[in-house]
Amino acid sequence: SDVEGMQKGRVFTLIETGMNLAYIPSDAADAICMNEEAVHAKTIDRHSWYVLCLSQANLSSTF
């Protein structure tokens, strides 16, 4: 992961909850924006970044 503070070999992910606004750590936002394949969509009052994810994975979470 490129997110500061994440251990090597660990992956940082955001889970889509259906909300139109997500509050995430600034390091995570920077990692998304720096992705070469990220698409920036800017409107009058919002900046959005989209990154395609075409791979499959099993997900387990620890809270």
d(CA 5, CA 26): 12
8 A C-beta contact, residue 32 and residue 51? yes
The predicted model scores a pTM of 0.40
Q: How many domains does the chain have?
A: 1
Beta strands in 1-63 (DSSP E): 39-42, 47-50
Mean pLDDT on 53-62: 61
Domain of residue 22: give its range.
1-63
Residues 6+ apart with CB under 8 A from 48: 40, 41, 42
Q: What is the pLDDT of residues 18-57, one digit of tens each?
A: 666 667 777 777 777 777 777 888 888 877 777 776 655 5
What pLDDT score was predicted for residue 2?
61
* Number of residues that this document lists for the chain: 63
